[in-house]
Structure 1
């Protein structure tokens, strides 16, 4: 497949040249669509739950999206090698927009979860393809500079996403946080088809569908038991043991399949490089942390601190401001002090940010929450930028796509597991607290009322206090897990090669 600065001949013999600035703008727009989705949905979730109910399904709204995102990213990477980046990212954007449209029309949490599956199925193509396109059209030296532009997308979306989300939720409806994606996606598609020209060598498709199916079953089983374990399915029960066994069995079958496949979804040979092994391991753990903060922080700020959706969005904005700042700084740090020391500083920042959340109380206020978010963002920016530059510098051009996709897959997998694991921790702790302290009417779904301002005002003071105390303690358990994961990330960074 030929890209580079992409000159190819058209059907009339005229030369079509890829216009890199316009392609970069289209890619950044596609990335912005995905980035703003995360901050807007997190800000709107308390309002969505307050309207549709189903607090016990809260984490499934994130898990469903992340599941399809995680299991399709490697497939899309393979398809793009066969058919080109442009048709694959276009298909992904269209599917993402269709899912977004349906999400906005949801009448129940179950419907929303189903439509989020569709949205995630499309999202699996957007961010990895956008990153791969940049890797194709820019040289190794240019990519370091372009990382700054790509990082700015997260900063802009971070500032605008929660603000727009809060305004839409308060003045119009939460449904518009999904529909706002549609014009962005259409513009991104137009830019890619007008200015990106590829020369794809026709090859016979050899896609590892069996591996994809085995991985999907394994991850789905794991997610299900992580969310429902201790809530609707006792951990010590036979069904729980059976589901865990299914997850382990199918993962084992997936590994076996990848070792014997002609063109595997996940080529495990690249994992033999220690820098890639560490990068992928830390990407898994930081994915867990990322979803833990972005999914559940708005619930604390709105339900316990009793602040607006806009203020809750501000606390998340701080993380996404710290991320691009750190990514930009990481570019120069990598040249001055190297990958290891840059990641080391990032690992310390992740631990510091986690400590803010573990020690957060209702009286701490949104500034405290935003400070924790900011340090997490700094840590994410330093580590993720170091890892992606390290990986793309370590492997050859032929492996760059799959190596990049594998790293993104690990972060997506971490977020998928994190949404399920931390959602399960939250649900089980709240249920336990309410059983010990609540009235007979205080079941898990009563927490819905806490996240809706008008319904919250109708609660009697005793029940409201019980619910807020239960949510506070339960979220502190969630953030304790986040801190443990941050420490694990830091330990893994110690094993990075010291020599560049």
Structure 2
């Protein structure tokens, strides 16, 4: 096979692409890997009382969530670049390895500080697994098939949003909270073995010049920026030396990063990513998706319980409709964009999402729970028809040697959007607390505004040719 630089095509062998029997176990491996990441994002939520009772450090437990998401977000662009240099398989296995080691260490944690550090190790693994899974899908499956496959992967997140908290509660109550991490050991090993056996890459080995300075600047800058957004108003006031200085320092380092990347031989994030209109707009859409996602998943349960007066189970049902609509729409999006094009499909999807988000702004103190669930389902349908086509459109404009960077950039934008959403909606809700009805109403109105801006980014997307085979 000729080098990737000569062909720009995927180094996956024809047998892997052509036969479903060869791709089935690989898809199962990807779904299992994403399931690990998705479940561990929420599994510890219901186990917090048991963890605190065992380790102490109640005031530190929010870091169990923040450090995991932070480590995941800041490493995504680096993994994307390394995947384009060395292949998807090594990066995916490295991510699974980090996640496995982190899970074992979390299970043996002797203090809250140790558990927080080990959660960061898990996050380093999660930072590779999600973008590599999406990139491998772009390598192995045709353009027509990717929407359906993304629906499968999205369904894993939907199932995990329910299974994660349930598992955390079951293990904490009937076994021991440490088993929420030990259960990952056989699952990581199974996913790794299946990936090694069923993903075959013919990558040309070479000695690239690694951009260490860029990697350090990017990681440090993004860490400070996201940390400032996540902890502002919580760990420190917004108007304080830390509240202003931490994100400002992050932005300054990112400015320096841009200048360094202009001269780097193998930049971590090539600047052409920001000059191509399709890539820029798809990243803006992804950021909007992240903001809307964190807004609904954080405040719909609060609204249903605190305002409508229901229990956690009913609140979970209301939100579950959102996570059901998303994979359903994503799995059907392939037929739509193959017929109408990526841009038209995404415009339809964003219109549905905007409609659903606007409806959330009219939810009141006497709204039936089933209406909340129906509105969330509509938003989920819209998001599924927006997120999948825009990502796939970006992937189809580049060859194998650039697809990792492009996919990771899209995933990174969603992570940054989620961090922005946490800060934005937290500030809005805290402004009118303890009036939960007013807080929820303002958050939902803000979600609708973000959805409208996301729709504007979709409209700004250029028309991208749809090819049946990449």
TM-score tier (shorter) = 0.7 to 0.9
Q: Counterparts of 2:208 and 2:39 in 1: how far apart (Å)?
A: 34
1:245 to 221, 245, 248: 248
Q: Does 1:417 align with 2:388?
A: no
Aligned to 1:481: 446
1:494 to 459, 463, 467: 459
Question: Could you give the per-residue CA deviations for residues 452-495 of structure 1, whole angstroms, max 9, x where no partner exists?
Answer: xxxxxxxxxxxxxxxxx444444444333322211211122221
On the 8 A contact 1:103/1:178 being kept in 2, the answer is yes
Aligned to 1:313: 316
On the 8 A contact 1:96/1:119 being kept in 2, the answer is yes
Aligned to 1:3: 11
Instruction: Report how far residue 348 of structure 1 moved.
Output: 1.9
Distance change (3 Å), C-alpha of 1:161 and 1:411 = closer
Q: Which moved more, 1:144-153 or 1:47-56?
A: 47-56
2:79 to 76, 79, 94: 76
> Secondary structure of the equivalent of 1:260?
coil
Q: Which moved more, 1:326-335 or 1:236-245?
A: 236-245
Report how many aligned residue pairs link the two structures.
447
Aligned to 1:429: 431
On the 8 A contact 2:286/2:387 being kept in 1, the answer is yes
Q: Does 1:30 align with 2:38?
A: no
1:263 to 237, 262, 266: 266
Aligned to 1:129: 132
> Secondary structure of the equivalent of 1:262?
coil
Distance change (3 Å), C-alpha of 1:225 and 1:125 = closer
Aligned to 2:217: 214
Root-mean-square deviation (CA, aligned residues, Å) is 3.3
Q: Counterparts of 2:177 and 2:315 in 1: how far apart (Å)?
A: 14
Q: Counterparts of 1:249 and 1:277 in 2: how far apart (Å)?
A: 21
Q: After superposition, where does 1:308-347 map in structure 2 within 5 Å?
A: 308-347=311-350
Q: After superposition, where does 1:76-475 map in structure 2 within 5 Å?
A: 76-103=79-106, 113-138=116-141, 142-159=142-159, 161-163=161-163, 165-166=165-166, 168-169=168-169, 172=174, 177-231=180-234, 233-302=236-305, 305=308, 307-361=310-364, 363-364=366-367, 366-426=369-429, 428-429=430-431, 433=433, 469-475=434-440
On the 8 A contact 1:289/1:482 being kept in 2, the answer is yes
Aligned to 1:13: none
User: Structure 1 unaligned runs (5+)?
Assistant: 9-17, 434-468
TM-score by length of 1: 0.78
Instruction: Report how far residue 388 of structure 1 moved.
Output: 2.1
On the 8 A contact 2:211/2:264 being kept in 1, the answer is yes
Instruction: Report how far residue 280 of structure 1 moved.
Output: 0.9
Q: Counterparts of 2:112 and 2:418 in 1: how far apart (Å)?
A: 20
Q: After superposition, where does 1:60-71 map in structure 2 within 5 Å?
A: 60-71=63-74
Instruction: Report how far residue 109 of structure 1 moved.
Output: 6.7
> Secondary structure of the equivalent of 1:19?
helix
> Secondary structure of the equivalent of 1:99?
helix
Aligned to 1:454: none
On the 8 A contact 1:287/1:415 being kept in 2, the answer is yes
Distance change (3 Å), C-alpha of 1:5 and 1:200 = closer
Aligned to 2:468: none
User: Structure 2 unaligned runs (5+)?
Assistant: 5-9, 466-470
Q: Counterparts of 1:373 and 1:326 in 2: how far apart (Å)?
A: 13
Instruction: Report how far residue 32 of structure 1 moved.
Output: 2.9
Distance change (3 Å), C-alpha of 1:313 and 1:479 = same
Q: Counterparts of 2:397 and 2:359 in 1: how far apart (Å)?
A: 35
Question: Could you give the per-residue CA deviations for residues 209-236 of structure 1, whole angstroms, max 9, x where no partner exists?
Answer: 3222222332233333334444554444
Instruction: Report how far residue 182 of structure 1 moved.
Output: 3.4
Q: Counterparts of 2:59 and 2:368 in 1: how far apart (Å)?
A: 26
Distance change (3 Å), C-alpha of 1:198 and 1:338 = closer
On the 8 A contact 2:148/2:333 being kept in 1, the answer is no
TM-score by length of 2: 0.82
> Secondary structure of the equivalent of 2:45?
helix
On the 8 A contact 2:45/2:168 being kept in 1, the answer is no
Q: Counterparts of 1:376 and 1:260 in 2: how far apart (Å)?
A: 43
Distance change (3 Å), C-alpha of 1:313 and 1:269 = same
Question: Could you give the per-residue CA deviations for residues 274-322 of structure 1, whole angstroms, max 9, x where no partner exists?
Answer: 2221111111121122122224444444555554544343333212211
Q: Counterparts of 2:62 and 2:443 in 1: how far apart (Å)?
A: 12
